[in-house]
Structure 1
Amino acid sequence: MLLNPRPRPSARPAGHRKAALLASAASVCLLAAAAPPVPLGVGDRLYPYLGNPGYNVASYEVDLTYPGTHDKPLEAVTTINAWTTADLDHLNLDFAHGTVRSVDVDGRPADFARAGDDLVVTPDQPLRRGGWTRITVRHTSDPAPVKDQDGGWVRTSDGLAMANQADAAHLVFPCNDHPSDKAMFTFRITAPNGYTAVANGLPTGTERVGRSTTWTYRTRHPMATELAQVSIGRSAVPHRTGPHGLPVRDVVPSGDRKTLEPWLAKTPDQIAWMESKVGPFPFETYGVLMAQATTGFELETQTLSLFEKNLFTEPGYPKWYVESVMVHELSHQWFGDSVTPRTWSDVWLNEGHATWYEALYADEKAHQPLADRMKAAYAESDRWREAGGPPARPKAPAPGEKISIFRPNIYDGAALVIYALRQEIGRPAFERLERLWVREHRDSTATTGDFVRLASLVAGRDLSGFLQGWLYGDKTPPMPGHPDWKQAPPAKSAKPHRPRSPK
């Protein structure tokens, strides 16, 4: 994700993915059927109420019916197929913004109740550990803004889009809203004729009945809930071909297609550039969604990155800068989407790498020196750490500002960690590490500890001591190879290094 402070080897099985998080949460009394419903979570340090113990989701089927106006909620049916990891008399789903009409579990009606941001479901008979269950929730999905909440549905000039990072997917549909529990997705979107719907993955069918049309999309790779995307609008969907025949499709307002085409045409070469750095593109398709909306950020929704259209039409942004922002979100497809953080404290692995490749692209393509940017970041690093915590242990979000974990310490501050690592182990070893990282953890989740272990393996020596200070220290360690780099004097105010900083 990119914030805009302007006037701007193998995938782990599902049970393993959440083992660490569930260790404490599983102790919650799930079997006390007589107890009142309570909100649960998987114990994430930054968002402790997100996610739920006792099951792992295998797939979501999300059916949405758009009425053609922002003033009415969408009618929706969300079906969740999951494996139970504990004996359950009831289970919790994250869902906070809609009316629940009914819930079925394995085809039989179930009781349900609200508890905070959770929907607590009680089936007519207990669910046993290791079993397969299917939960169907009929509900509404409300595009109205929610007080003290960031994200969920985004109202565009002609429809809707989604922005669910970091904790807002449960404002749109019932889910296990934590990145540790990735799943496959199918979307079916019905809208009045004249609208176009596009979602993550590839289309599997379109059906027009009377005055409405239904579009179906399905992912071929697991996805975290925060990366879900559905665009509904009066849109054009231009298609082109990327490297190795990769289908590339974009979504833009119909009237702006010609104006935006020069930017859209850049994506295949940008994908080729990223593949030259880290290896094959990890998904079945890619494209950009240019929305006529004011969000304050760009967002790496899986296979279809969300951008504010004005980024590409505002004359004040240099061409090289806009291209580097496009590469920032593209690089997230490897770092954050394919390899997903197991906890939100690991988010520096997403944003640090995306910022790194953003800066490297600007260095190689636009002669914006990488070393200069890293030196400037080094000067501010201690202040960023004081304000937001060290990169791998960010401070919790401010009250009422759920996305405020996205501070400079996990962008340029985390990219500085990556630069320091490259300085320490050398470019050839670093480039091997990057390729191995996205290959070993593809379609899975990973932690900061996993990255340190792989870096040590590639370097042939234990790097945990070296990286400890860079990742967790209150003060920034000396930069290898640059003993002259210093922190800025205390009197100088700290600012992000870009006119738009990433989310």
Structure 2
Amino acid sequence: MPLSLGSRVPRRLKATLLASAVSVCLVAASAPAEPLGVGDRLFPYLGNPGYDVSSYDLSFTYGGDNGKPLQAVTTIDAWATENLERVNLDFAHGTVDAVEVDGLPAEFTTAGEDLVVTPKIPLPQGSWMRITVHHTSDPVPEKGRDGGWVRTADGLAMANQADAAHLVFPCNDHPSDKAMFTFHVTAPDGYTAVANGLPAGVTRTGGTTTWTYRTQHPMATELAQVSIGRSTVVHRTGPHGLPLRDVVPTEDREALEPWLARTPDQIAWMESKVGTYPFETYGVLMASVATGFELETQTLSLFEKKLFTEPALPRWYVESIMVHELSHQWFGDSVSPGTWSDVWLNEGHATLYEALYADEKANRPLETRMKAAYGASDRWREAGGPPALPKPPKPRQKIGVFRANVYDGAALVLYALRQEIGKPDFERLERAWVLAHRDGTATTADFERLASVIAGRDLSAFFQAWLYGEKTPPMPGHPDWQPAPPPRTAKK
């Protein structure tokens, strides 16, 4: 641990202090490596203390649909926020070949789901560091575990929410540490690669093509997206000249166009509610994959293609799901949760705007949906916890923390808030929220404080009951709404 010793320190004392510092370093370095975390209540070993990532530079080389791991290089630029003899990175599903810190070879080992790096020279607080990891990135999932790379009919895509980005690349895998991203994706000719952000170059060499993309806004690791497939990229223009690009299987290009054409109007609708779209581009990635969910990866939302090809699904429903993921670009992507217990702010808002869109565009009354949610809310709270205090996920459980209590249950909280403070103040709150925390992270406490300021009164009692209570409070303006009775069980 380097020390800054002034010239007035006696030579003998300086030598003693330096020897002591070296001794401390050796003791720390000889201690067993252990997994660390930032103390998230729901994912205690996600993220790592001691540094703040500024940027990721990710290189992936895809060899075609052979199931083999991708060759990869991850470069992380970060600030040390404390003195570091070791640096823990989240990484759990690949082989590490070599690690360098500031250009020098570094020792490394694993502990739990951490890659633990020991640089040759300890890193003092406030120093800038560059960590380069040469590794593989395995598209074959671990048995019983979902997330990370997902296999599509013609290639790969990513689904990293909530705790799976570190199955793809070494990172500080927690939304509280957002960073800029650059992607370099190499694939055989015949494939197309697209990633978050805007294109920054294409090079072709001996039967392969490398695409480069860069974000212009910081991003959480769980929102990273890379699509590799036999795809077509469809370009159009959105509001205010916003460049839009969609990624679809080439063979389905014409059939999917009516859905793709809806995006500009959907963005304009969202802007009328909460303000200007917060990023440099947007688009939908329609993948031939069965994930069981859609995902709001930043600037390029992931959708199952079958959502748009299943004839039994009504048009209004499909469009409202598109708006759900679009609204996440404001709520969850631009304004990211400070902890995973704050995920209700992501999903509650997205569900509310999904329902508002269906109300305004398809005559599906918001009040009807919220009344139904009120009836089920007590059961949701019992099963998944209150909206802002969700129960921890069970190990390797696919649904994780994404239960009904943080979707319609959280939208119900926002609807109750709108009833409590009035629609005009609620709309002012929404615009102020996404503006005040754009490109950052925010917590439930931040939302409560801003709501109280906008309303001109203390709303802490309201939020305590609605966000943390085991039972659903009375709905403002609807004293007749009642929770549904628990289901009756058959007598034995």
Instruction: State the TM-score, normalizing by the size of structure 1.
Output: 0.91
How has the CA–CA distance of structure 1 residues 145 and 416 changed in structure 2, closer, same or farther, with 3 Å as cutoff? same
Tell me how far apart the structure 1 counterparts of residues 174 and 223 of structure 2 sit (CA, whole Å): 11
Alignment of 1:482 with 2:478, yes or no, is: yes
Give the equivalent residue in structure 2 for 1:256: 252
1:204-236 deviation line (CA, Å, top 9, x unaligned): 100011100000000000000000000000000
- For 1:360-439, what aligned pairs fall within 5 Å after superposition? 360-401=356-397, 403-439=399-435
Amino acid in structure 2 at the alignment position of 1:131: S
Quick one: structure 1 residues 338 and 31, their matched pair in 2 at CA, closer, same or farther if it must change by over 3 Å? farther
On the 8 A contact 1:166/1:402 being kept in 2, the answer is no
Q: What is aligned with 1:287?
A: 283
SS of the residue 2:53 aligns to: strand
Pick the aligned partner of 2:156 from 160, 175, 178: 160
**SS of the residue aligned with 1:347?**
helix
Which residue pairs with 2:109 in the alignment?
A: 113
1:148 maps to 144
Does residue 297 in structure 1 map to residue 293 in structure 2?
yes
% identical aligned pairs: 77
- The answer as to whether partners of 1:203 and 1:216 remain within 8 angstroms in 2 is yes
Aligned-pair CA distance for 1:30 = 12
Q: Which 4+ runs in 1 deviate beyond 3 A?
A: none
CA distance in 2, matches of 1:467, 1:39: 35
* CA radius of gyration, larger in: 2
Q: Distance in 2 between matches of 1:428 and 1:191?
A: 51
Provide the C-alpha distance between the structure 2 equivalents of 1:195 and 1:146, rounded to a whole number of angstroms: 26
Once the 2 structures are TM-superposed, how far is the Cα of residue 147 of structure 1 from its aligned partner? 2.2
Which amino acid counterpart does residue 292 of structure 2 have in structure 1?
G
Cα deviation digits, residues 419-440 of structure 1 (max 9, x gap): 0000000000000000000000
Distance 2:338 2:216 in 1: 20
1:274 aligns with 2:277: no
> What is the CA–CA distance in structure 1 between the aligned matches of 2:27 and 2:273, rounded to whole Å?
50
* Letter aligned with residue 367 of structure 1: N
8 Å Cα contact 1:31-1:87 kept in structure 2: no
SS at match of 2:319: helix
Q: 1:193 aligns with which of 189, 204, 218?
A: 189
Structure 1 pair 147/350, CA: closer, same or farther in 2 (3 Å)? same
User: How far is 1:150 from its partner?
Assistant: 2.0
Counterpart among 85, 95, 101 of residue 97 in structure 2: 101
**1:467 to partner: Cα distance:** 1.3
Aligned residues: 465
Matched residue type, 1:32: A
Matched, 1:320 2:286: no
2: CA distance, partners of 1:378 / 1:482 = 11
State how far apart, in whole Å, the 2-side matches of 1:31 and 1:174 are. 26
| CA distances 1:19-51 after superposition (whole Å, capped 9, x unpaired) | xxxxxxxxxx99711111111111100000100
Match of 1:227 in 2: 223
Shift of the alpha carbon at 1:149?
Answer: 2.1
Following superposition, the deviation at residue 474 of structure 1 comes to 0.2
1:165–1:403 Cα contact (<8 Å) kept:
no
> What residue number does 1:23 align with?
none
CA distance in 1, matches of 2:464, 2:387: 11
Equivalent in the alignment of 2:30: 34
Counterpart position of 2:464: 468
Distance in 2, matches of 1:133 and 1:380, equals: 50
Whole-angstrom CA distance in 2 between matches of 1:209 and 1:43:
45
Residue in 2 that maps onto 1:459: 455
CA distance in 2, matches of 1:226, 1:242: 26
Which residue does the alignment assign to 2:68? 72
Cα separation, 2, equivalents of 1:400 and 1:366 = 38
User: Which of the numbers 51, 68, 78 marks the counterpart of 1:55?
Assistant: 51
Q: Report the aligned-residue RMSD.
A: 1.1
Structure 1 residues 403, 105: closer, same or farther in 2, change over 3 A? farther
- Verify the 8 A CA contact 1:60 1:80 in the aligned structure 2: yes
Q: Which structure 2 residue ranges, 5 or more long, are not aligned?
A: 1-24
Amino acid at match of 2:45: Y
Aligned to 1:3: none
State the alpha-carbon separation in 2 of the partners of residues 71 and 158 from structure 1.
Answer: 12
Match in the other structure for 1:310: 306
The residue aligned with 2:17 is none
* 1:443 and 2:436 correspond: no
> TM-score of the superposition, structure 2-length normalised?
0.93
Matched AA of 1:220: Q
In structure 2, give the amino acid aligned to 1:193: D
Q: Distance in 2 between matches of 1:223 and 1:72?
A: 28
